[in-house]
């Protein structure tokens, strides 16, 4: 769906989480009160819940901080700012990753950042949909051009995971873990996910789009479709998180941009020890699915190439380059 200018203005007013009368909203938008009601009805399509109380007016269930480029850039470090080419903020987009993959066909630029308030087709790993209610979470993708081909950036998702954990710790989140190959967990519940998509020549220049989805607040109704244990930052840090969204984006970019920019030069070994210190699967019973095949065992960490090491019931060690990993209740 498209967001009209009136609907965007309405959201900007209601973002404070306070009651606003129908009369005041109608005057602001220069429309009738029935037109205001019609606009409010469309909020449900964006995953937004609102309250209507006679004599008080309308308010959002949760206050929002809409994305603001100037606020984000004001909180960037000089190092991150130097690596940033451009920030694009979309009210509605199919997927921030898809947008930058299309852009990569037209440009060799690195440091292009795409953010969205709402994704109609947010992408998770293996074709899953990423739940993307309007204005609640962070949907962020970064485009970067690498000169030496996909092989030179093997393991990039592990380095990106380290960067995300650094940002979380800097913002006061403890007990963060990394689940191979690219999920960020908090006390065995998923907080964020990374999706890296690469296009270009096998032995020449290639583009990587590094996508990150992070839960700030997931409304219960929206979270019903999620089939795994999850958590959001509001549960961890409290309601103030929703009013710090631009600060969180800046904190992530401050860590992500230098890691992404330097990876081709530093490569995976620079991040392995730090990644291992956050490994939340080490010693856990897990199941790995590769296509129709299933492998059960105990995680023994990752090797120097970033492959997952799994010991089966006989103690035999096997390395996995990819696969869907599920914790197993014992």
Q: Residues with catalytic annotation? A: 125, 190, 328
Residue 96 annotated as binding site: yes
Closest among 192, 203, 247 to 70, alpha carbons compared: 247
Residue 254 annotated as binding site: no
| Concatenated DSSP letters of 163-204 | HHHHHHHHTT--SEEEETTTEEEETTEEEEEEEEEEEE-SSS
Residue 95 annotated as binding site: yes
At 133, is the secondary structure helix, strand, or coil?
coil
Total residues found in the chain within this entry: 330
**204's tokens:** 């020449």
> Other C-beta atoms within 10 Å of 72: how many?
23
Q: What is the CA radius of gyration of the chain?
A: 21
Cα–Cα distance, 282 to 263 (Å, whole number): 25
> Other C-beta atoms within 10 Å of 65: how many?
18
Residue 97 annotated as binding site: yes
Cβ atoms of 60 and 74 within 8 Å: the answer is no
Q: How far apart are the first and last CA of the chain?
A: 44
Cα–Cα distance, 250 to 56 (Å, whole number): 36
**DSSP annotation of 44:** G
Residue 70 annotated as binding site: no
Annotated binding-site residue numbers: 95-97, 119, 190
């Amino acid at each position: 769906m498209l967001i009209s200018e009136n609907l965007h203005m309405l959201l900007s007013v209601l973002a404070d989480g306070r009651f606003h009368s129908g009369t005041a909203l109608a005057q602001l938008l220069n429309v009738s009160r029935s037109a205001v009601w019609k606009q409010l009805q469309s909020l449900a399509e964006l995953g937004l819940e609102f309250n209507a109380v006679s004599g008080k007016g309308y308010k959002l269930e949760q206050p929002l901080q809409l994305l603001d480029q100037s606020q984000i850039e004001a909180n960037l470090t000089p190092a991150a700012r130097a690596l940033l080419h451009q920030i694009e903020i979309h009210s509605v987009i199919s997927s921030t990753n898809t947008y930058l993959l299309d852009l990569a066909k037209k440009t060799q630029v690195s440091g292009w950042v795409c953010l969205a308030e709402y994704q109609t087709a947010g992408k998770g790993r293996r074709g899953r949909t990423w739940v993307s209610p309007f204005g609640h979470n962070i949907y962020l993708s970064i485009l970067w051009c690498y000169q030496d081909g996909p092989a030179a950036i093997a393991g990039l998702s592990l380095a990106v995971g380290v960067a995300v954990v650094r940002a979380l710790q800097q913002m006061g989140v403890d007990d963060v873990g990394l689940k191979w190959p690219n999920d960020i967990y908090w006390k065995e519940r998923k907080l964020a996910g990374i999706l890296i998509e690469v296009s270009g020549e096998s032995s020449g220049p290639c583009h990587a789009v590094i996508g990150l989805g992070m839960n700030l607040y997931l409304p219960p109704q929206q979270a019903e479709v999620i089939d795994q244990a999850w958590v959001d930052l509001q549960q961890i840090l409290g309601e103030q998180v929703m009013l710090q969204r631009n600060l969180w984006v800046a904190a992530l970019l401050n860590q992500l941009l230098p890691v992404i920019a330097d990876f081709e030069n530093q490569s995976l070994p620079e991040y392995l020890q730090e990644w291992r210190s956050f490994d939340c699967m080490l010693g856990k019973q897990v199941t790995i699915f590769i296509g129709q095949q299933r492998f059960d065992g105990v995680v023994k960490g990752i090797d120097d190439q970033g492959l997952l090491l799994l010991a089966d019931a006989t103690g035999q060690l096997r390395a996995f380059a990819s696969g869907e990993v599920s914790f197993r209740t014992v």
